[in-house]
Amino acid sequence: MGSFGHYLATHFDTLKAEFWFLFVGGVANGLLYAMVAVGYTLVYGVLRLINFAHSEIFMSGGFAGYFVLRAMVGATVPAGMTSVLIIVLGIAAAGTAGAAAATLVERVAYRPLRRRRAPQLAYLISAIGASYFLFNLAGKEFGHLSVSDPQPYINHTVFTIFGAPVLMYDLIILVVSVVMFIALDWLVGRTRLGRGIRSVAQDAETASLMGVNIDRTIAITFIVGGALGGVAGFLYGLNIGVVYNMGFVPALKAFTAAVLGGIGNLRGAVVGGLLLGIVENLCVVFVQAAYIDVVAFGILVLVLLVRPTGILGERLGRTA
Amino acid sequence: MKLRFSKTVAAIASSALLVMAVPAVVASSSGAAVKHRQPLPTYVIGYEGPLSGGNLQLGLNMVFAVELAINQYNANVHHRQFILKLARYDDQGDPTISPTEAQAAVANQKLIAIVGPAFSGATAAAEPYYAKAHVATVSPSATNPSLATKGWNNFFRVVADDSVQGPADANYLVKTKGFKSLYVVNDGSAYGAGLAQAVATQAQSDGAKVTTATVPGTGQCNNGTASATEYQAAATQVVASGASAMFYGGYYCDLGLFLGALSSSGYTGVVMSGDGSDSPALIQGTTPASAANGVLLSCACSASNNAAFNKGYQNLSNFSAATATYAPESYDATNTIIAGMKALLAQHKKITRANLVAELHKITYKGITKIVKFQKNGNIAGSAIYVNKVENGKIVQLGLE
């Protein structure tokens, strides 16, 4: 026990020294997970299914942003308003591409099944099929090697928190994601459209009897979730680069975050994403990077054992 | 087949042209009408490697260099003591095909030695046939360490094997560069973990303080399933360790992601990696690309700085020697064989397969990549590992470690 105590003591010292460095990076990662997790949760809310093609929606956003950057960024790194303009354009393109890909998946892979009242398992297979089709198509069109995005800004330190630098990249993620989360919360909670989404999530049949257009509501849900996923793909690609299968791992993490926070619960998805991102980053103090996933999924299992519906509980209908 | 035929024709035609430029010795080279001298004997140097299939380019890189060395020897009409011919044996890099090709090569009575086989697996399968017939094989590229342990007296290679790179890299960082504190990362792959382990062990015995970590390959790079977001945290650990140099055992794509994170984490030390990262794709995959500048990359392979070779190679192959991996080594392998044959004649010995094997064990030949001298087991003497550096977005060779 003495040596274990010593182990903990030295590692807690390290944690104290590095906490804010790891925390800042963890928040940035967590916000990205959250943006993708929201897409899973929205679709789960209205359709009661996991959209396994969401990783490819993320990827389409990444590539759309990449092509915008490649077209706009010249030999020198832009600065000032030019940077802002390029990033806004990239976000718009990525959001549009994500929404378009989501609409395509909904029309081709889900709507025909819904019309025929197919069993849940058929949706799952259809989603996996759409996912494979899309990422292989991207691999064929754009190659199988990861390429880095041209940088639209200089990634300097903007300010520090307790000595830990907050980079321009972290700040962009923070601003973009918070704006989108607030807008989404308002959309779902305060608008007529949001009421439609919530009513379909609660009881689709009754909602339809009350005059809610289910097809339209579901289509819009996919568009909203797809736009967020696409923008997340762009922000992820900014720092990491784009490749045909870039969506797989982040989407798996985001799915985990959605379940952690309570699948079907929008605020839960954000909480789950942030928690996962921060815990993952902090645990490198105690274990090597090789075991990050072990810790992350261990926590998921523990949370689900205590709260099977996730941290904030399940329902999109009420909590949002 | 068409390619082989046309290249042979080209080789013969070009040597014939050169010969015609010096009318006095036309007769001696054609052997048709002897005037001054005896006709020169003809020997065949074979190349065994992939000349079709998925690894074709690697084989082409090599065979053009072999052909260039042979053409250059034949072109020296005043001093040549024999005529050399090239025979191509296409094993596709495949261990199931190489025994057949080896037997065909052995059956060729004029064949004196082989440049190759190119691939380690193909070499292991073919070597028993060459060994039995005492045909010297000088490989420009087979790097599996076990090949030198089989007791094949005829086996030689002009590149360092895979076990040399790690210790050489550690010595370079600790002894040559004087870094006393090393952070050694591996990507969890068999290659990366093995290389990193070798670096860590040697660096420790060189007296450096070594911290090791596994940062697994990511799904972004198809090297694993880890999330590419792990690098920010991993980079924080590197910076916090206070190490002045980091070694990365792994491949270019993941290293590129790591470099981006290191740069944004404010890491100012040196980064070094091995041949798995020695690719221009490293720079393309690093965000921002400037974060790759200053990275050291080691490789048993050498870039050619020899202008004469580069020019001759470009003329013959129609592609640049700069991107032709193992072309300089193939050129050296061929010239080492030729030097061995000349040495035999200088000692008034007959050029036979067995005599050449014995001669190659003694030879010292100054090639364009290194001084070629073999150990008893056929491995190249010395570490023979090159270190390259990324400078302004380009990989530049600094020299031997």
Q: What is the pLDDT of residue A170?
A: 94
Which residues are within 8 A (CB) of B208 and not within 5 positions of it... i.e. 6 or more apart?
Answer: B170, B173, B174, B179, B180, B181, B182
B45 contacts B70 by C-beta, under 8 angstroms: yes
Residues from chain A contacting residue B233 (CB–CB below 8 Å)? 22, 25-26, 280-281, 284, 289, 292
> CA of A168: which chain B residue's CA is closest?
B264
For A169-192, the pLDDT digits (tens) are 999 999 999 999 999 999 999 999
**Residue B141 and residue B152: Cα distance in Å, rounded?**
17
Fold match between domain B2-160+304-373 and domain B163-299: yes
Nearest CB to B220; choose among A22, A29, A243: A243
Which residue type occupies A205?
A: E
Helix spans in A73-203 (H) = 80-105, 111-115, 120-142, 168-190, 192-202
User: Does B188 lie at the interface with A, CB-CB under 8 angstroms?
Assistant: yes
User: Does B226 lie at the interface with A, CB-CB under 8 angstroms?
Assistant: yes
- List chain B domain ranges: 2-160+304-373, 163-299
B282 contacts B392 by C-beta, under 8 angstroms: no
Which residue type occupies B187?
A: D
Q: Tell me the whole-structure pTM to 2 decimals.
A: 0.80
Q: What is the DSSP letter of B147?
A: G
Q: What is the pLDDT of residue B222?
A: 80
Specify the residue for token string 């090639």: B367
For B101-148, the pLDDT digits (tens) are 999 999 999 999 999 999 999 999 999 999 999 999 999 999 888 899
For A13-38, the pLDDT digits (tens) are 888 888 999 999 999 999 999 999 99
Chain mean pLDDT for chain B: 89
pLDDT band at B40 (very low <50, low <70, confident <90, very high): very high
Distance from CA of B259 to the nearest CA of A (A): 11
How is residue A164 written in tokens? 């830990």
User: Hey, are the CB atoms on A240 and B232 less than 8 Å from each other?
Assistant: no
Which residue type occupies B317?
A: S
Distance from CA of B255 to the nearest CA of A (A): 11
Determine phi and psi for B296, rounding to 5 degrees.
Answer: -95, 135
**Residue A273 and residue B108: Cα distance in Å, rounded?**
69
Q: What is the pLDDT of residue B11?
A: 52
Determine phi and psi for B400, rounding to 5 degrees.
Answer: -75, 150
> What is the number of residues in chain A?
320
For B312-342, the pLDDT digits (tens) are 999 999 988 887 889 999 999 999 999 999 9
User: Hey, are the CB atoms on B287 and A144 less than 8 Å from each other?
Assistant: no
List residues in chain A touching B: CB distance below 8 A. 14, 17-18, 21-22, 25-26, 28-29, 32, 77, 144-149, 151, 155, 165, 167, 169, 236, 238-241, 243, 245-246, 248-250, 253, 277, 280-281, 284-285, 288-290, 292-293
Which residue type occupies B311?
A: K
Handedness of CA B34, B35, B41, B45 (dihedral sign): negative
Helix spans in B251-306 (H) = 252-264, 281-284
Which residues are within 8 A (CB) of A241 and not within 5 positions of it... i.e. 6 or more apart?
Answer: A146, A147, A148, A149, B220, B256, B257, B285, B287
Interface contacts A/B by beta carbons within 8 Å: 121
Distance from CA of A162 to the nearest CA of B (A): 15
User: Hey, are the CB atoms on A249 and B220 less than 8 Å from each other?
Assistant: yes
> CA of B219: which chain A residue's CA is closest?
A249
Distance from CA of B225 to the nearest CA of A (A): 7
Q: What is the pLDDT of residue B31?
A: 45
pLDDT at B33 over 90: no
How is residue B289 written in tokens? 């690309």
Distance from CA of A184 to the nearest CA of B (A): 25
Residue percentage of chain B with pLDDT more than 90? 70
| Residue A87 CA, distance from chain mean position | 18
A201 contacts A317 by C-beta, under 8 angstroms: yes
The backbone region for B378, taken as left when phi is positive above 0, alpha when psi lies in -120 to 50, beta otherwise, is: left
Q: What is the DSSP letter of B46?
A: E
Q: What is the pLDDT of residue B15?
A: 52
Residues from chain B contacting residue A25 (CB–CB below 8 Å)? 232-233, 236
Residues from chain A contacting residue B225 (CB–CB below 8 Å)? 249, 293
Report how far apart, in Å, the C-alpha atoms of B370 and of each of A85, A270, B160, B305, B380 are. 53, 59, 11, 12, 10
User: Hey, are the CB atoms on B227 and A250 less than 8 Å from each other?
Assistant: yes
Residue percentage of chain A with pLDDT more than 70? 97
pLDDT along chain A (320 residues), means of 10: 75 84 94 96 89 95 96 87 95 97 95 91 92 94 88 90 91 96 94 91 89 92 96 95 93 93 91 94 86 86 88 64
Residues from chain A contacting residue B215 (CB–CB below 8 Å)? 288-290
Specify the residue for token string 């030390």: B269
Q: What is the pLDDT of residue A143?
A: 86
Handedness of CA B54, B57, B63, B67 (dihedral sign): positive
Q: What is the largest CA-CA distance in chain B?
A: 80
User: Hey, are the CB atoms on A288 and B215 less than 8 Å from each other?
Assistant: yes
Which of A32, A135, A288, A291 has the most B C-beta neighbours within 10 Å, making it the best mutation to test the interface with B? Answer: A288
User: Hey, are the CB atoms on A281 and B216 less than 8 Å from each other?
Assistant: no
Q: What is the pLDDT of residue B12?
A: 52
Task: Spell out the domains of chain A, with CATH numbers in brackets.
Answer: 2-319 (1.10.3470)
A150-170: burial string, b at 16+ Cβ within 10 Å, e else: bbbbebeeeeeeeebbbbbbb
User: Hey, are the CB atoms on A284 and B256 less than 8 Å from each other?
Assistant: no
Q: What is the pLDDT of residue A74?
A: 83
Could you check whether the bond before residue B117 is cis, i.e. omega within 30 degrees of 0?
Answer: yes
Residues from chain A contacting residue B284 (CB–CB below 8 Å)? 145, 147-148
> CA of A243: which chain B residue's CA is closest?
B220
Residues from chain B contacting residue A290 (CB–CB below 8 Å)? 188, 214-216, 226
B323 contacts B298 by C-beta, under 8 angstroms: no
Element spanning A62, H or E: helix A54-72
pLDDT at B155 over 80: yes
Architecture of the domain spanning B2-160+304-373: 3-Layer(aba) Sandwich (3.40)
Q: What is the pLDDT of residue A247?
A: 94
Residues from chain A contacting residue B232 (CB–CB below 8 Å)? 25, 28-29, 281
Q: Does domain B163-299 have CATH number 3.30.420.60?
A: no
> CA of A282: which chain B residue's CA is closest?
B233
User: Hey, are the CB atoms on B253 and A145 less than 8 Å from each other?
Assistant: yes
**Residue A71 and residue A93: Cα distance in Å, rounded?**
12
For B202-240, the pLDDT digits (tens) are 999 999 999 999 999 998 888 888 889 899 999 999 999
**Residue B382 and residue B364: Cα distance in Å, rounded?**
12
Element spanning B358, H or E: helix B353-360
